Amino acid sequence: MKPIFRRVAVIGKYPGPGAVSASDSARQIIESIAQFVTQQDCELTLEAETAAHTGLTQYHTLDVEGIGRQCDLCLVVGGDGTMLGVGRRLAGYGTPLVGINQGRLGFITDIPLEGYQDALTPILHGDYEEDVRPLMQACVMRGGECVFEALALNDVVVNRGSTSGMVELRVEVDGVFVSNQRADGLIVASPTGSTAYALSAGGPMLHPSIPGWVLVPIAPHTLSNRPIVLSDATEVAIEVAGGRDISANFDMQSLASLQHGDRILVRRSAHRVCFLHPRGWSYFATLRKKLGWYEGGS
């Protein structure tokens, strides 16, 4: 039976310069996956930087945007951080993603490297679970002008620097004043991001099917400032009212330094990311494994 995904791309996480042994390991992993994909009668494309860093120049290469335009499926080799970056860049193309995890089990990069062939073969032939996640669109407004804009799959975080005191933030939802918050910062997280920084700050976990966000203060001055769940159809505005050395982070991978009076606007993006998982994948099984929940039995 022919695979339903004919043009398959591979994007890998690669180490920095000088990490010779790690580079050799990365090359072996990517080459093994590339060979496996071609053996499945698929047309293989390596992401250009992945090919350059691993020396696998014998394969057809494209940049990430080219992969979005030309490929039917993208295999992301690494961890959740790698997947977040790729997901944001490919969201506008609708390219489905499969995550092969090099380390510990990830929340969204869930196929272990050992034995990936058994999990990947059915997916290439159309037997999989589809998992669609929303993206957040955020911008920093200064004097009525957008000075920074980014997508986020996990969260938008406004927080203080490591040596500064609390920040004061004015929060609005759909133009309606909510509160002034004095805290170390504030997190606006998607359901995907609810199991990341927001969870460690005391926020609830949102099932991916819930069209909502969670607003979580970081170490609030007033203990009555608690996490709140909002509809993702709303627009959240966070205005910097006080403090210093304040920044906005988007999936912790993009950064904007903020000034007093800056407003961070967060709304639902028109784009979504589609993850493909092996048949039988369960969100709750992932939580049990990742969070070490008791499963019962003897």
Kindly report the CA angle at 69 between 63 and 72, in degrees rounded to 5? 100
Amino acid 177 reads: F
253 in a labelled binding site: yes
Structure tokens belonging to residue 129: 């679970």
Residue at token pair 């927001």:
198
Q: Is 180 annotated as a binding residue?
A: no
Asked if 206 and 267 touch (Cβ cutoff 8 Å), the reply is no
Choice among 63, 72, 80, 251 that is catalytic: 80
| Ligand-binding site membership of 154 (annotated) | yes
196 labeled binding residue: yes
Side-chain-side CA neighbours of residue 27 (13 Å): 13
- Supply angle C-alpha 139, 249, 197, rounded to 5: 125
Residue recorded with tokens 């955020």: 138
Q: Is 215 annotated as a binding residue?
A: no
Cβ of 139: how many Cβ atoms within 10 Å? 18
User: Is there a contact between 243 and 168 (Cβ–Cβ < 8 Å)?
Assistant: yes
219 assigned to a ligand binding site: yes
Q: Transcribe 58-97 into DSSP letters.
A: TSEEE-HHHHHHH-SEEEEEE-HHHHHHHHHHHGGGT--E
- 62 annotated ligand binder: no
Is 199 one of the annotated binding-site residues? yes
* Residue 81 marked as a ligand binder: yes
State yes or no: 58 annotated in a binding site: no
CA neighbor of 148 nearest in space, from 284, 257, 29, 297? 257
Gap between the Cα atoms of 119 and 150, Å rounded: 33
Is 24 an active-site residue? no
Q: Tell me whether residue 201 is annotated as binding.
A: no
Residue 168 CA to chain centroid, in angstroms?
A: 27
Residue 247 among known ligand-binding residues: no
* Whole-number Å distance between alpha carbons of 89 and 260: 30
Q: Which active-site residues does the annotation give?
A: 80
The annotation places the binding site for NAD(+) at 80-81, 154-155, 182, 184, 195-200, 219, 253
The annotation places the binding site at 80-81, 154-155, 182, 184, 195-200, 219, 253
